[in-house]
Chains A and B, each alone.
Chain A
Amino acid sequence: MNKTLERRAPEDARTPNPRRNFLRGSAALTAAAGLLGAGRAEALEPEKADPALLPPNVPPWTRSQGGPFINPPYGLPSRHEAGVVRVLPRVAAAFPTGSRTPLQNLHGIITPSGLVYERHHAGVPDIDPNAHRLMLHGLVERPMMFTMEDLARFPSVSQVYFLECSGNSSAELKKPTGKTAQEIHGLLSCCEWTGVALSTVLQEAGIKRDAKWVLAEGADGAAMTRSVPLGKALDDALLVYAQNGEMLRPEQGYPLRLFLPGFEGNMNVKWLRRLKLGTEPFETREETATYTDLLPDGTSLQFTFHMEAKSVITFPSGGQKLKARGFYEISGLAWTGRGKVKRVEVTLDGGKSWVEARLQEPVLSKALARFRLPWQWDGGPALIASRCIDDAGVQPSMAEVLKLRGANSNYHNNAIQYWKIDADGSVQNVRA
């Protein structure tokens, strides 16, 4: 057992049950905060900057005028952040299908638009919004056609929601494969989305009584199609045209995308051109041949829409290195397609005991939640992980996922992610 946990022992001893798993409530926060003063950072590496740029010297950026405004007109991150970008899978594919969000470099809960993950079925079309149309037909009273201007005139809604590919983290079902949080879990992003409630637009056309399902179809080269239950369409589904305050990025469906909060990413059909109401699911390729979950007995689950409770520690996480012992804030993301994250717990000892982390407000329904836990690293090996608790229960272990769904299921892997911290401070993806 490492020294961090030994330091925690006095707080643990106050409770009647020394084997308790959780520290809860304000007492837990006080106890955790007590760790802050428990030790001072030791053995800091020498600062690496050129001494001429450091006090008592005054660096050149303080002794001269800075660059011009609006250079470029659409602003970019600092050139010193050039490494914070989306990445393709490490093994190049003949037909690349997705890029991943650098979760380990992000702060708070919003994913900047330029870092939102991509998953395409026929690349990114270049659509003229003036020539884009949404057709709404099938079991409606009045088949309708909408321009983008029409859609923007409807009462609008803005909501913060996460978006996760159902294939996120799938390679891990076979064995620990990815190195970083981005490589393993980066088919995950969270934005403020703006658009019109789908229910509003459906009511404009009038829904026939026997309609039960809605086919959504993209205008891309895949004419990507998924069937959506009418209940979801009338509940919280949106037709979005903006994200994070600006029009959708081309790779996110410009100019129009279906958004189904909490549902698997591919159902949020991009470049949306057509909605057709019918009595049954349309049994498209993307809901039969793909995006169905193959079980160990050879049968498959179809229409597993919700993305279930999940979390990942983003600091410290795979590929990072702790340079010195001492204080760190463990930080990560938790989410559930079922609603709000209720609680996040963190283990520092490989799952023997769990501590409640602090959730950053606001904790929004079907959005990423940021959790934090103060931590003193004593320089010894540690095995850390987080687990998300929602109304439906506790995020499962990998063993539980494999028992329930098997390694061939490919989709909806929401297993707990363990990171192993070695004595040299390096952090690795491991199965525990």
Chain B
Amino acid sequence: MFAPKHLILAACTACTLTITPTLAQQHYNLGRPATPAEIAGWDIDVKADGTGLPKGRGTVAAGAAIFAEKCAACHGAKGEGSVANKLAGGAGTLNTAGALKTVGSFWPYPTTLFDYIRRAMPHNAPQSLKADEVYSLTAFILNVNGVIDAKAEMNQTTLPKVQMPNRGGFKQVVD
């Protein structure tokens, strides 16, 4: 796979001394291919359509137990907030002076919750949770916000379909 790049570089240096930005295809042959195994270890992002969600499943009940053990000390027993952010509440406040942005009142995508817990939580041991634990915590936090039923199971299929209350609340500026 490196041979064609060698050829391109050789051709360019041979033809002229003027290196310009128009040499869009210039290659330096630096770095090496990333292997599928290496990529799999780091490729943890989950997109809004659910792409990237791992296999596994979680329930509200299981999430409640994990939350009590690993999250409640900072976020409060039911995500009402303590030294760390409030995770629940705030419905109907966004257009008031006391606007409260939580998962339930503000976050537009349920998949972002899974992504964030998996990459960054718990605070004292990021990236220590198994997929089932992340699904369960996601289920618990969505449930305390009244977004999903207490019996709902979260997995690759169900999570992307959860409708967040503030899904329509964002205008993309891209500027």
Contacts and interface: CB of A to CB of B under 8 A. Distances in A.
Interface of A: 94-95, 121-122, 135-137, 142-147, 150-151, 153-154, 200, 203-204, 215, 217, 221-223, 225, 229, 273-274, 276, 278, 280-285, 288-289, 292, 294, 296-306, 407-408
12 contacts: A137-B43, A142-B33, A144-B31, A150-B31, A203-B27, A217-B42, A222-B119, A223-B119, A225-B45, A280-B48, A294-B99, A408-B94
A340 to B, nearest CB: 18
Contacts of A221: 120, 123, 126
Given A225-B119, A288-B108, A142 B170 contact: no
A144 B47 contact: no
B118 to A, nearest CB: 9
A223 B83 contact: no
A301 B171 contact: yes
B108 A144 contact: no
Size bracket, chain B contacts: 35 or more
Given A294-B94, A296-B95, A303 B173 contact: yes
B30 A294 contact: no
Interface in B23-67: 24-28, 30-34, 38-39, 42-45, 47-48
A95 B83 contact: yes
Contacts of A302: 170-173
B174 A229 contact: yes
A407 B30 contact: no
B119 A299 contact: no
B153 to A, nearest CB: 23
B170 A145 contact: no
Nearest to A301: B173
Contact of A122 (B39, B43, B120, B174): B120
B170 A299 contact: yes
B32 A204 contact: no
A136 B34 contact: yes
Contacts of B1: 142
A135 B39 contact: yes
Given A283-B108, A306-B175, A223 B120 contact: yes
A401 to B, nearest CB: 16
Given A144-B31, A303-B175, A408-B99, A298 B83 contact: no
A180 B115 CA distance: 38
A137 B45 CA distance: 12
Contacts of A292: 170
B38 A145 contact: yes
B28 A282 contact: no
A299 B175 contact: no
A256 to B, nearest CB: 13
Given A204-B28, A276-B45, A283-B109, A305 B174 contact: yes
B169 A300 contact: yes
Given A145-B31, A154-B28, A280-B47, A300 B127 contact: no
A95 B123 contact: yes
Given A273-B42, A278-B47, A300-B169, A121 B112 contact: no
Given A301-B170, A304-B175, 8 more contacts: A95-B83, A146-B30, A203-B25, A280-B48, A285-B112, A294-B101, A302-B173, A303-B173
Contacts of B31: 136, 144-147, 150, 204
B44 A223 contact: yes
A135 B34 contact: yes
A131 B29 CA distance: 21
A203 B42 contact: no
A201 to B, nearest CB: 8
Interface in B91-139: 94-95, 97, 99, 101, 103, 106-109, 111-112, 115-116, 119-120, 123, 126-127
B30 A153 contact: yes
A372 to B, nearest CB: 32
Contacts of A95: 83-84, 123
Contact of B112 (A153, A273, A288): A288
